[in-house]
Structure 1
Amino acid sequence: MDFSNTTIKLVATDMDGTLLDPQHTLSDSFYPVYQALKEQGILFAAASGRQYYNLANLFEPIKDEIIFLAENGSYVVYQGQELLVQALDPSMVRQLLQKAKTIPGVQVVLCGKKTAYVQNTDPAFMEQVDLYYDKVEVVEDLLQVTDDAFLKIAICDLAGAEANSNTYFQAEREHLQVTVSGKIWLDLCHKHANKGRAMEVIQEKFNITPEETMVFGDYLNDLKMVQKAYYSYAMENAHPDIKAAARFRAKSNSQNGVVEVLQQLVDATSKMPAARPEEER
């Protein structure tokens, strides 16, 4: 694509299935491209269902420079400042945990601002938890955890979230964000907690329009984020609904598709004056 006549001020990308490769690792080629974006005044945001602490560790060298949209947009942090905390009502958390207990074969992560909580340490489940959460506390009963702000309830459904656990929460969709965020993950969040709302908060703070925004995504929890950018990219490996919603296509995450597009952007915009977004005062 020709970016020579574009003004991009913000790039946001999902992690798993998008920027990260199939082994959930970040390519070494990312950092030189990121540095070039930074030099051109383009903000970078990591948007993920992952825990904030996990994302901060993943981007350790630049964690004080980039924006984090963690827990599917429930928690937005920039340079140590909380831009958005969209926590669930405690009574709703209790109801959802009780309902989740009735679903056969699933495990639950209660995602707090301080840490993530689990009460089952089944090895297959913990292998998944360890991928996305760096701060985890094992408790006897999730219902007894009260001293935290709860950003999300993540249901790990090894049978497949979209066709299984997803069907148990149809009634809750009226007052909650119920999102299939991966093949084995179902996320329950505050009604206004999603990556699209988080993008609005960032765009408003830095006076950036959708036409000045580029996003990348692959799964259903990226849908509302994709709708907040003109330069919306679906990965080649994306869910069909994301491909239908996005304007453009990037190569698969196994082919480093995000970095390839960002390199094209860098090459085109390096010939133009830097776009420096200014924070609202």
Structure 2
Amino acid sequence: MSRYNGMFFCDVDGTILPHGQREISPSFFSLVHEAKDKGYLFCISSGRFHLSLLPLFEQVENEVVFSASNGCRILYQGQELIPNHTIHPTDAEQITTSLLELGAIPLLSGKHAIHLPSASLKMEQDKGYLAKGFTRTFDVFSDIDDEILQITGVCRLNKEAILRESRRAWEDSYHVVTTGRELFDICPTSKGDSLVSISSHFGIPRENTYAFGDDENDIPMLRSAGKGYLMGTAHDNLKKHEFEHCHDLVGSIAAIIEQF
């Protein structure tokens, strides 16, 4: 029998962290503590690289599960909870080459770093993920000494065309999902698969899982949960899915907790 009554799976950007906001609201941390006292566990489920998540959630780092890179790397109290999901090196090299040829910037999320082609460094050097000290550049793919968990395509122009071509080439083998206005991820697993794996690990029944998200990569997670909530700020084309709509994440989760 699980020692937890249930589990909340929460996306970060656009959900816990509204777009344009840089810090997590203190009320969210209070909610994590309250939920823990009532026997509920939180999972921070994000497409982000794991090392970029830890500073945001330092106050509750040992109380939550981190499901990073869309579920490819899952950590709890500093330890790997479930083996990593990886992209085969041959595929990773081909995807990288293809994205460069299509005019996108490939960001390769590994176990130890984000890997960026040297030629793209000047274009990306003002971005936040380079300022954190966990990005490494490479000249040729063989320079990378790391497992590749997922690859993000950064599209300054022609995102729809690049996304369409990437889906044509890779969707039979990998999940290809949008994660932002200029971004899409190519990933060997999904947030939905990670929800199933994590809740199973802790012995939590599916009907006692609740998920909150706002973008295409969140849809598998919302579908896999006992109940999925789509943020009111989500793109209109996602609102065709039959999920509950949520306009205030902290308030909505608090209301669910109070039901128990």
Common topology (TM > 0.5) = yes
Per the alignment, residue 262 of structure 1 pairs with 253
**2:121 partner amino acid:** T
**1:195 partner amino acid:** K
Instruction: Give the drift of 1:132.
Output: 10
SS in 2 for 1:17: coil
Q: Is residue 102 of structure 2 the alignment partner of residue 103 of structure 1?
A: yes
Per the alignment, residue 225 of structure 1 pairs with 221
1:142 and 1:116 map into 2 onto residues whose CA distance is 15
1:66 and 1:138 map into 2 onto residues whose CA distance is 31
Per the alignment, residue 19 of structure 2 pairs with 22
Instruction: Give the drift of 1:45.
Output: 0.4
Per the alignment, residue 207 of structure 1 pairs with 203
2:45 and 2:121 map into 1 onto residues whose CA distance is 27
Instruction: Give the drift of 1:204.
Output: 1.0
Go from structure 1 to structure 2 and tell me whether the alpha carbon gap of 1:240 and 1:64 turns closer, same or farther (over 3 Å shift). Answer: same
Per the alignment, residue 122 of structure 1 pairs with 122
* Residue-pair matches, total: 252
SS in 1 for 2:240: helix
Tell me if the contact between 2:65 and 2:77 (Cα under 8 Å) persists in the aligned partners: yes
SS in 2 for 1:12: strand
Larger relative contact order, structure 1 or 2 (CA cutoff 8 Å, min sep 6): 1
Instruction: Give the drift of 1:110.
Output: 1.2
Q: Is residue 10 of structure 2 the alignment partner of residue 13 of structure 1?
A: yes
2:107 and 2:177 map into 1 onto residues whose CA distance is 15
Tell me if the contact between 2:115 and 2:144 (Cα under 8 Å) persists in the aligned partners: no
2:239 and 2:130 map into 1 onto residues whose CA distance is 26
**1:250 partner amino acid:** C
1:121-140 superposed matches below 5 A = 121-123=121-123, 125-130=124-129, 135-139=134-138
5+ long unaligned stretches in structure 1 = 1-6, 252-256, 270-281
1:14 and 1:133 map into 2 onto residues whose CA distance is 21
Instruction: Give the drift of 1:142.
Output: 4.6
Instruction: Give the drift of 1:263.
Output: 1.9
Tell me if the contact between 2:29 and 2:60 (Cα under 8 Å) persists in the aligned partners: no
Instruction: Give the drift of 1:246.
Output: 4.5
1:52 and 1:204 map into 2 onto residues whose CA distance is 21
2:37 and 2:102 map into 1 onto residues whose CA distance is 50
Go from structure 1 to structure 2 and tell me whether the alpha carbon gap of 1:138 and 1:146 turns closer, same or farther (over 3 Å shift). Answer: closer
Q: Which range is displaced more, 202-211 or 217-226?
A: 202-211
Per the alignment, residue 45 of structure 1 pairs with 43
Go from structure 1 to structure 2 and tell me whether the alpha carbon gap of 1:130 and 1:146 turns closer, same or farther (over 3 Å shift). Answer: closer
SS in 1 for 2:92: helix
Go from structure 1 to structure 2 and tell me whether the alpha carbon gap of 1:187 and 1:215 turns closer, same or farther (over 3 Å shift). Answer: same
1:72 and 1:143 map into 2 onto residues whose CA distance is 23
Instruction: Give the drift of 1:57.
Output: 1.5
Tell me if the contact between 1:50 and 1:132 (Cα under 8 Å) persists in the aligned partners: no
Instruction: Give the drift of 1:134.
Output: 5.5
Q: What TM-score, normalized to structure 2?
A: 0.90
5+ long unaligned stretches in structure 2 = none
Superimposed CA distance per residue, residues 171-196 of structure 1 (whole angstroms, 9 cap, x where no aligned partner): 31111211111111111122xx1101
Instruction: Give the drift of 1:201.
Output: 0.7
